[in-house]
Amino acid sequence: MRSLVRSVVLSAAVAILVSGCGTSKDDVPEPMMSAIPTAPPAGAELICGMDKAALEAATGFTVGRTEDELRILDGVGSGKRSVWAMNESLIDGSLMAVTMFAASSPEGVRYRAKLLGQDGLHVPPQIAYTTVDGGIWGDVEAIPGHMTLGAVSVVFYDDTAIEVLTRSADVGRDPAADQIALTQQVAATYGLVDTSATP
């Protein structure tokens, strides 16, 4: 009987200790596991043409400051915009960078050669997109229970190429799917695609 009492007391003590340490489930936000839309929702807060909530869901970081700008001139995109995590000590450098350049520019020609496997200096993309004209290189496979290290992608929209560099993908996310959706949001925001037929 005495050993039974000791066992019950010990179990209760362990339960109290376990419940009192660490963070509760309420302290950790639920990750957004649904697919990121290809155009920002109406009224969304935009960062580099992307829905801030979608960007944070994809990367796993709260967004802080941004730097530089993107622009469209005569229908062609140009410029670069960098995004930092709110807590910059958590990630080395910017969290994400979006760059737009002319498809006919040296950068555009180089990426086209990489996509076609005609660039002897670089490997073809890990994933060549089938729904848009582009591809992605880097850490593109989801690893259960772990964040991934990010990737770089490029997608061509007529005379403009959009390069997206990410340095993180959140646990449980599909980095390749998220990156293409975020790129499509940039294209939609800057008028590089017709979104009038989008439901």
Q: What is the pLDDT of residues 9-21, one digit of tens each?
A: 444 443 433 333 3
State the Cα–Cα distance between residues 80 and 108, nearest whole angstrom.
14
Residues of the chain with pLDDT under 50: 1, 3-30, 198-199
Number of other CB atoms surrounding residue 7 within 10 Å: 10
Instruction: Give the pair of three-digit tokens for residue 93.
Output: 């450098």
- Classify domain 42-189 at the CATH topology level: Protein Transport Mog1p; Chain A (3.40.1000)
pLDDT of residue 91: 85
Instruction: Give the pair of three-digit tokens for residue 116.
Output: 């076609």
88-121 pLDDT, tens digit per residue, is 988 888 999 999 999 999 999 999 998 988 766 6
Number of other CB atoms surrounding residue 113 within 10 Å: 14
Q: What is the pTM of this model?
A: 0.78
State the Cα–Cα distance between residues 47 and 31, nearest whole angstrom.
19
Q: How many helices (H) and strands (E) does the chain have?
A: 4, 9
Distances (CA, A) of 69 to 48, 50, 51, 176: 8, 13, 16, 24
pLDDT of residue 135: 94
